[in-house]
Structure 1
Amino acid sequence: MDIDRPAAARIYDAFLGGGHNFGVERDFAEHLARDLPGVTEVYRENRAFLRRSVEHLLARGVRQFLDLGSGIPTIGPAHEVAARRSRDFRVLYVDNEPLTAAHSKPLLAGDPRVDMLRADLRDPDAVLGSAEAAQLLDLREPVALLATAALHFVPDGDRPAAILAAYRDALPAGSHLLLSHLTGSRAPTATNALCRHYAASSDPLFPRATGEIEGLFDGFPVLAPGLAYLADWRPDPEQRAGSGYRLLFGGLGRTR
């Protein structure tokens, strides 16, 4: 465990206003916000995208969620969204950062519908073959694979498309992929600033062009309204204009 460098999961928690972060993450957030005024809204947009998407999936009858690179499940995580809509759901969070998993376990204790697995999302066999997955998920029924703000921490050499393909091939028909990803296609200056800051963290960033992000949906035909910058994807009627930064791009796909 490296607590001297900021970690992505705790940086996210700091920007969302959570209490599961350290001084190094709060300093990181302060310096990044000074460099990119208004960047906090980017993190909030991602959380709002998760909420809208989980609500949409529940309305479509999906009841199982596998949240890859979940971070600490506080401040609007998938299981809290689901609990407001249904009693019948299951969420397995997956994160490889030791303190993230350690902090998350007690938060989820007592709810048999939710668990945290410490594992690397880049190892689908380990994730899907875990005791936690066997206990919580029925892999004969559709699963929503959540990868929100996760794969931009996976370098090209680890073949993120192949990772998603392995999950896709192991999940039954009717499963979904929910994905958001950092891109520099529209805001390269802001993206470069983010990358400079995260290079000093334990989790450097690997942004991708929107066309590359679209390619990650191979085998998951994209559902309406298509791929979009997050503030534009099924916005709430009362939704604010957003951060002004067009940095996170994504959408929802479903296997046939």
Structure 2
Amino acid sequence: MTDEGFPADEIDTSRPHPARMYDYYLGGKDNYEVDREAAQRVVDVLPDIIPAARANREFLHRAVRFLARSGIRQFVDIGTGIPTSPNTHQIAQSVDPRASVAYVDNDPIVATHAGARLTGSGNTGFFLGDLRDPRSILDHPTLAGLIDLDQPVGLLLVAVLHFVRDDEDPAGIVAQLREKLPAGSFLVLSHATADFHAGSLPEVFKVYDKATATLNTRPHAAVEALFDGFELLDPGVVQVPVWRPDGELPSAEDIRRIGFYGGVARRT
């Protein structure tokens, strides 16, 4: 199942898109010249964006694997971005092939890739939706066909809420989604921060100001507040490499390079 019923001219190649810029940071090829130029300007002033993006992706993998091993068999991945293997369904279905995943993104170009890479399994689907309108996601027929909201769900908001401005009420968006999740559900959330790169961020903000979504970094306390109504699991909201690493922790110097906080929490 996938939403691909949109005209080609809906794909905006005149301005950089954060999902395609993120694909560039990860070493992907699914981006346009306008995205590559913008992303490279970010890399030039903030080289740590490369290891940060990769550490964030690894956090997603570990968190999904943890949820699947904890018995979660349904996942809603909002802000999917350009598919980069292994994707959420590949991680979850490696634990249980019956796991279902609904992918959501607001970029039509993601849909063109989703058909080939995200929806090959009968338990996966993609649809276009905007996080700023949670009701449109929750009421979407593709979601209803894959996800039973009466059973525990893994909600993934990975590297997406920093594209929501304060006046668009990111905490309120999370609260609307939370209220539809039954007890036993989990929230996986990561978010960019300026806590470690304050000097470089003004130039980065200028790049994203010309993109299709602005970058809105937040400090630790503000990211932690997004988990209100959930019970945070150990080790709480931390820089993403610190969240339950598979092996030894990176060095303190390497961790400091990672301007992403992340956490996993349970709906009680």
TM-score (norm 2): 0.90
Aligned to 1:75: 85
Aligned-residue offset at 1:240? 4.4
Specify every segment of 5 or more residues in structure 1 that has no aligned partner in the other structure, as ranges.
none
Instruction: Report the Cα distance in structure 1 between the residues aligned to 2:86 and 2:211, rounded to whole angstroms.
Output: 24
Q: Do 1:38 and 1:243's aligned partners in 2 also have CA atoms closer than 8 Å? A: no
Partner residue of 1:161? Answer: 171
Inter-partner Cα distance in structure 1 for 2:190 and 2:88: 15
Name the structure 1 match of 2:41: 31
**Amino acid in the other structure paired with 1:180:** S
Question: Paired residue for 1:218?
Answer: 228
Q: Report the aligned-residue RMSD.
A: 1.6
Cα distance per residue 1:28-57 (max 9 Å; x no partner)? 232222222242111101100000101111
C-alpha deviation, 1:192, in angstroms: 3.0
Deviations 1:51-107 (A, max 9, x none): 010111111111111111111222332112223222121111111112222332232
Residue in structure 1 matched with residue 182 of structure 2 by the alignment: 172
C-alpha distance in 1 between matches for 2:120 and 2:244: 33
Distance 2:139 2:36 in 1: 36
Verify the 8 A CA contact 1:148 1:180 in the aligned structure 2. Answer: yes
Q: Distance in 1 between matches of 2:124 and 2:156?
A: 15
Is 1:111 equivalent to 2:121 in the alignment? yes
Q: 2:206 maps to what in 1?
A: 196
Superimposed CA distance per residue, residues 162-198 of structure 1 (whole angstroms, 9 cap, x where no aligned partner):
1111111111111111100111123312333332222
Q: Distance in 1 between matches of 2:141 and 2:174?
A: 21
CA contact (8 A) 2:114 2:126 kept: yes
1:204-236 CA distance string (max 9 Å, x none) = 101111111111101111011111011111122
The alignment partner of 2:110 has SS state of helix
> For 1:108 and 1:48, how far apart are their aligned partners in 2?
18
1:25 is displaced (CA, Å) by: 1.8
CA contact (8 A) 1:155 1:206 kept: yes
State the alpha-carbon separation in 1 of the partners of residues 29 and 90 from structure 2: 17
Match of 2:197 among 182, 187, 191: 187
Alignment check: 8 A CA contact 1:187 1:246 kept: no
C-alpha separation between the residues in 1 aligned to 2:33 and 2:26? 15
SS at match of 1:177: strand
Contiguous gaps of at least 5 residues in structure 2: 1-10
